[in-house]
Structure 1
C-alpha cells in the first residue's frame, strides 16, 4: 500500500508539473496534490514527507540507511557464528539449521550491500552535497565529501554477542557447543527482529520495509526451529 501511495503521489506531481508548463505557469500555480485515501475514504492533501518521497527517486530516509548499515554488521556476526558449526556441532538438526542461516544471511548481505551502493554511495559520488548518509567507514563504504557520518558502533545493537561470548562459543564443542550456539543465535535473531520492527515504524523505502518484514517472519520461524532442535 505504501508503494502504491508513493507512486500515485509521484504521478500526480508529474502530471501537475506538465499542466503548469503547458499553461505557461509554474508548479506554484497548480492545485494541491491529493494523496489517495483507503478504499471508501476521500483523498486528502499530501503531506510534505509524502511529496518529498514522491519527488525523491530513492524515497529513503536516514532510518532506512541506518537499518541497512547496522543489519549488515548484525548479519556478519550471524555468519561468523554459523562458520563455527561444522567443526564443533553434535546435533545434526542444528548443523542443518546453521547451513540455512548461513546461506540466507549471506544472500541478504549481498542485497543490502547492493541497496546501499545504488541508493547511497553512487548518488553521493555523483553529487556529494545531495546525500546525507555516506562516509560510513568500513570496507564497503567510501569516504565521500559532504556527508554526515552515521554511528556504526554495534555495542548497543540488540542481540549481538559480546567478544567474550564469541570466544566461549569458539572454544566449545559437542553438546555444550550446540546449547550455547542455540542460546546465542536465538538472542541474535530476537535482536534482529527488534531492529526490523523499528525499521518498519521509522523507515520509508519500500524495499527496506519489505526486507524488514521478511526478516521478522523468517527469523521468528528460525527461533522456533532452533529451540525445537535441542528438545528432540
Structure 2
C-alpha cells in the first residue's frame, strides 16, 4: 500500500505541474497503481489518486508562491480598474475585463488554499505544517507578527509596476493609455509566469502546482491576445 501511495503521489505531482486545465490530465498518460507481487500494474481510479494526493504536504515554496501571487494578482486588478471605461480599443477593453474577471476568483481560490492548508488549526488538518499558522494579519495573509518563516518582499516580485508607472497609467489618455496598459500588463504577466515556473520547479503540493500551471497558460494567452490587438 505504501509503495502504491508513493507512486501515485509522485504521479499526481507531475500531473499538477504540467496540466493546463482539469481536463488535460484526463487526456494524459494513465496513473498506474502497482499490483501485488507477480501481478501487473493497473490504472488507478480517480478516488485512489485523490486519496494519495491528500497525503502530500505543502512546502515553503508553495506558501511563498501563493502569498506572493495573491499580491501580484491584486495589482493586475488595480491596473484594470485604472483603465476601466478609458481604453480606446474595444478589443483591448474586453481583454482587460477578462483579466479582472479571472483574477478575482483566482485570488479567492488561493486564499482558500491558504485557509485550508496553512492557517487552519493543525488538529483539524493532518497536512498542516505550521507555515504562517497564526492566520492572516491586518496587512493580509502573512501570518501575524514575525511568526511566518516565509520572508516576502512584494516590491521585488517580477513584473510589478511601480507607483510612478501606476500614476502614469492613471493620467494617460487617448492612444497612449492603450499602449501603456499593454506594456505594463505584458510585463506584469511575464513576471507572473516567471513566478509560476519557479513554483513548478520548487513546489510540492498538487493544488499549488496546478494553480501555477494555470497561471502560465492563461497569462501567456492574455499576452498573445494583447499583442494581436496592438498589431491590428
TM-score normalised by structure 1 residue count? 0.72
What displacement does 1:160 show? Answer: 0.5
Q: 5+ unaligned residues in a row in structure 1: which ranges?
A: 10-34, 37-53
What displacement does 1:151 show? Answer: 2.1
Structure 2 CA distance for aligned equivalents of residues 82 and 117 of structure 1: 27
Q: 5+ unaligned residues in a row in structure 2: which ranges?
A: 13-32, 35-51
Structure 1 pair 169–125 and aligned structure 2 pair: CA distance change class (3 A): farther
Per the alignment, residue 203 of structure 1 pairs with: 203
Per the alignment, residue 148 of structure 2 pairs with: 148
What displacement does 1:228 show? Answer: 1.1
**Equivalent residue pairs, number:** 189
Per the alignment, residue 159 of structure 2 pairs with: 159
Structure 2 CA distance for aligned equivalents of residues 99 and 183 of structure 1: 17
Higher relative contact order (CA 8 A, sep 6+): 2
What displacement does 1:86 show? Answer: 1.9
What displacement does 1:88 show? Answer: 2.0
Per the alignment, residue 130 of structure 2 pairs with: 131
Structure 1 pair 198–83 and aligned structure 2 pair: CA distance change class (3 A): same
- What aligned pairs does 1:47-66 form with structure 2 within 5 A after superposition? 57=55, 59-66=57-64
Per the alignment, residue 46 of structure 2 pairs with: none
Structure 1 pair 3–118 and aligned structure 2 pair: CA distance change class (3 A): farther
Per the alignment, residue 104 of structure 1 pairs with: 102
TM-score normalised by structure 2 residue count? 0.72
Q: Which moved more, 1:136-145 or 1:109-118?
A: 136-145
Structure 2 CA distance for aligned equivalents of residues 195 and 6 of structure 1: 24
What displacement does 1:8 show? Answer: 8.9
What displacement does 1:156 show? Answer: 1.4
